[in-house]
């Protein structure tokens, strides 16, 4: 609680809100990391999170393109 600055409502809801706002690169600035550790953690969280999102979207696109190619070749 002392590592973030902002109006606190519910720690779980605030944590989820911070994660979603950060990963969507909106960055409202109403909840911000204060200590150097939490700033580095937030940077690492974004880099790792974008890697997972990239892998997920890439996998979905590859699956759809393979399915489309199979349908075109079978026609």
- Average the pLDDT over 67-71 and give the result: 96
**DSSP per residue over 10-39, as a string?**
-HHHHHHHHHHHHHTT---SSSEE-SHHHH
pLDDT value at residue 6: 77
Q: pLDDT digit string (tens) for 4-54?
A: 777 777 888 888 898 889 888 888 888 888 899 989 999 999 999 999 999
pLDDT value at residue 54: 94
Q: Which two tokens stand for residue 57?
A: 């979207």
Cα of 29 vs its chain's centroid, Å: 16
pLDDT value at residue 74: 93
Residue 40 and residue 14: Cα distance in Å, rounded?
A: 19
Q: For residue 2, what pLDDT band results from cuts at 50, 70 and 90?
A: confident
Residue 50 and residue 46: Cα distance in Å, rounded?
A: 6
């Amino acid at each position: 609680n002392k590592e973030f600055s902002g109006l606190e409502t519910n720690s779980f809801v605030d944590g989820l809100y911070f994660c979603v706002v950060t990963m969507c690169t909106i960055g409202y600035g109403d909840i911000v990391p204060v200590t150097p550790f939490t700033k580095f953690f937030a940077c690492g969280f974004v880099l790792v999170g974008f890697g997972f999102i990239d892998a997920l979207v890439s996998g979905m696109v590859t699956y759809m393109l393979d399915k489309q190619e199979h349908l075109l070749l079978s026609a």
